[in-house]
Amino acid sequence: MTGSLAVIGLGPGDQRYLTAEAEAALSAAQALYGYAPYLDRVPPRAGQSRHASDNREERARADAALRHAAQGGRVAVVSGGDPGVFAMAAAVCEAIETGPESWRALDVTVIPGITAMLAVAARIGAPLGHDFCALSLSDNLKPWALIEQRLDAAAGAGFVIALYNPVSRARPWQFGAAVERLRRHLPPATPVVFGRCVARADEHVSVTTLDAADAEKADMATLVIVGSRETRVIARPGRTALVYTPRAAAEVSA
Amino acid sequence: MTGSLAVIGLGPGDQRYLTAEAEAALSAAQALYGYAPYLDRVPPRAGQSRHASDNREERARADAALRHAAQGGRVAVVSGGDPGVFAMAAAVCEAIETGPESWRALDVTVIPGITAMLAVAARIGAPLGHDFCALSLSDNLKPWALIEQRLDAAAGAGFVIALYNPVSRARPWQFGAAVERLRRHLPPATPVVFGRCVARADEHVSVTTLDAADAEKADMATLVIVGSRETRVIARPGRTALVYTPRAAAEVSA
């Protein structure tokens, strides 16, 4: 008997963004592995074991889940958002590549979810309505110079930029440094969206400008979207503004 | 009475990627607007009118839906994938910005969906496991020189690149030209993933290399993911290969 491993995207926040496929995969699993707050979102099921671990232990969690699957279990790893975007699917692939050969025989599936940038963008209009990129500001696993190079390239070429992991307790200055870097390329009035805890009770989405962006609160639960030169804000009387990037782009920037 | 407009992401293909929130919004609508093949995916409901239009008519569809909502209707615009990614949400925002002032008073919500790049990535492992961008190859609404500038910037800075709208009947050469452009920056063995009709009966996902990529079939239903220098392929005996981009990136490219 060969086991299986499903890497499941829960989407952001509560159950409203769970897909039918993710729901089916959760109910089929004999064992769930995940970061504790993500596991807490999944209602308990009889006969299903739960294995919580800490945020930083992605590789150890992947190894443990794969060992369990290799013993014949139907195992699931749960991930917030989409498991393929700065989350568990890459850690599982790393473990499969470098682990015992038997792991390469396992039935592995990845089940996509709504990633944070899509949820935040939806809340405020369509800031990702044209070409965009997703960039993690964590320099735990890459040099800061590479992050700067990518900020320069993306802003210089007119991509809207979704910033994941803008700040953590161990990385207090990176977000401010990124904002400063982006000011070299983009006008002060460029719209910036802060989306915190989207689809949770304490959800907070706000719009500011690039020249004021570093004064805004960002934390580990925040996703930041920095517009391009084309991104626009529509003021609406009595309603929150809409932010969007038009489908057409006319200019080649310098 | 003020009407409402929901812009709803159906995800790719069949119902398996529909979220609970999208399902609820579909059932609450009195009128559905959309490109005919997307409307066809939504089961008919008694008392719900359906207004199909052609692919190219995004702005006219947005105008019609907003007019209907402004008359007090609960209107929904359906979109394949995520409505905020090269889809209807930006067209609706454009219409709101330039249309009658009454449209800015409407209750407008955007409901995210699984966009094609997330579904294709999930099928093959985790190619979007680190920094990536999404770029439309359609030069209907932007100059080709801008697309080339963005390809250069993204590949040069080490972003994985998801290419939307690689080919259409009216745009036969753009995908080949993009591949040729990317070869200036990336090694011939760079992994390239073609995902066609994901989550549909005729789904086909394949992996090739950048030097062979333009021989592969791409069409309007194809999403292409071009790896970075870091992207890896794991061969698996008796199973399809896994493609992933590691969480760590060590180098700053030239």
CA dihedral A177, A182, A187, A192 (to 10 degrees): -80
Question: Residue written as tokens 């004999």?
Answer: A30
Q: pLDDT-derived band of residue A56, with 50, 70 and 90 as boundaries?
A: confident
Q: Out of A104, A114, A150, whose CB is closest to B237?
A: A104
Give the model's pLDDT for residue A254: 47
CB of A254 less than 8 A from some CB of B: no
Give the model's pLDDT for residue B214: 83
Environment class of residue A235 by beta-carbon count within 10 Å: exposed (0-12), middle (13-18) or buried (19+)? exposed
Give the model's pLDDT for residue A70: 97
Name the DSSP class of A119: H
Averaged confidence pLDDT in chain A? 94
Please check the confidence at residue A213 and state whether its pLDDT lies above 80: yes
Backbone φ, ψ for residue A200 (5° rounding):
-120, 170
CA atoms within 13 A on the CB side of A206: 13
Supply the Cα-derived Rg of chain A in whole angstroms: 20
**Distance of alpha carbon A195 from alpha carbon A177, whole angstroms:** 19
Reduced to 3 states (helix: H, G, I; strand: E, B; else coil), residue A163 is strand
Which residues make beta-bridge pairs with B161? B133, B226
pLDDT by residue (tens digit) across B193-241? 999 999 888 999 999 999 999 877 788 899 999 999 999 999 998 999 9
pLDDT by residue (tens digit) across A161-191? 999 999 988 888 999 999 999 999 999 999 9
Environment class of residue B109 by beta-carbon count within 10 Å: exposed (0-12), middle (13-18) or buried (19+)? middle
Please check the confidence at residue A224 and state whether its pLDDT lies above 90: yes
Average pLDDT (B179-186) is 97
Q: In chain A, which residues have their Cβ closer than 8 Å to the Cβ of B56?
A: none
pLDDT by residue (tens digit) across B157-170? 999 999 999 998 88
CB of B205 less than 8 A from some CB of A: no
Amino acid identity of residue A210, one-letter, is L
Q: How far is CA B90 from the centre of its chain?
A: 13
Give the model's pLDDT for residue A251: 64
Q: Out of B104, B134, B245, whose CB is closest to A234?
A: B104
Q: pLDDT-derived band of residue B182, with 50, 70 and 90 as boundaries?
A: very high
**Distance of alpha carbon B163 from alpha carbon B228, whole angstroms:** 13
Question: B90 vs A247: CB contact, 8 Å cut-off?
Answer: yes
Q: In chain B, which residues have their Cβ closer than 8 Å to the Cβ of A9?
A: 122
Please check the confidence at residue B55 and state whether its pLDDT lies above 90: no
**Residues 133 through 172 of chain A touching chain B, CB cutoff 8 Å:** 133-136, 141-143, 145-146, 149-150, 152-154, 156-159
Reduced to 3 states (helix: H, G, I; strand: E, B; else coil), residue A228 is coil
Q: pLDDT-derived band of residue B254, with 50, 70 and 90 as boundaries?
A: very low
Interface confidence, given as ipTM, is: 0.97
Averaged confidence pLDDT in chain B? 94
Give the model's pLDDT for residue A252: 59
Tokens for B126? 């985790």
Q: pLDDT-derived band of residue B153, with 50, 70 and 90 as boundaries?
A: very high
In B130-169, which positions are buried (b, 16+ CB within 10 angstroms) versus exposed (e)? bbbbbbbbbbeebeeebbebbbbbbbbbbbbbbbbbbbbe
Closest chain B residue to A94 measured between Cα atoms?
Answer: B246
Tokens for B29? 């609508």
Hey, how many other C-beta atoms are within 10 angstroms of the C-beta on B219?
13
Q: What percent of chain A has pLDDT over 70?
A: 98
Question: Residue A203 in contact with residue A13, Cβ under 8 Å?
Answer: yes
**Residues 103 through 132 of chain A touching chain B, CB cutoff 8 Å:** 104-105, 107-115, 118-119, 121-123, 125-132
- Is the dihedral angle over the CA atoms B237, B243, B247, B251 positive or is it negative? positive
Give the model's pLDDT for residue A13: 85
Q: What percent of chain B has pLDDT over 70?
A: 98
Q: pTM of the entire structure? A: 0.97
Please check the confidence at residue A64 and state whether its pLDDT lies above 90: yes
Q: Which contacts (CB < 8 Å, 24+ apart) does range A24-29 have? A: A24/B16, A25/A76, A25/A109, A25/A111, A26/A76, A26/A78, A28/A74, A28/A76, A29/A74, A29/A75, A29/A76
- Is the dihedral angle over the CA atoms A135, B142, A187, B94 positive or is it negative? negative
Q: In chain B, which residues have their Cβ closer than 8 Å to the Cβ of A244?
A: 89-90, 93-94, 97
DSSP B125-194: EETTSSSEEEEE---SSS-HHHHHHHHHHHHHTT-EEEEES--BTTBSSHHHHHHHHHHTTS-TT-EEEE
Q: How far is CA B45 from the centre of its chain?
A: 27
**Distance of alpha carbon A102 from alpha carbon A125, whole angstroms:** 47
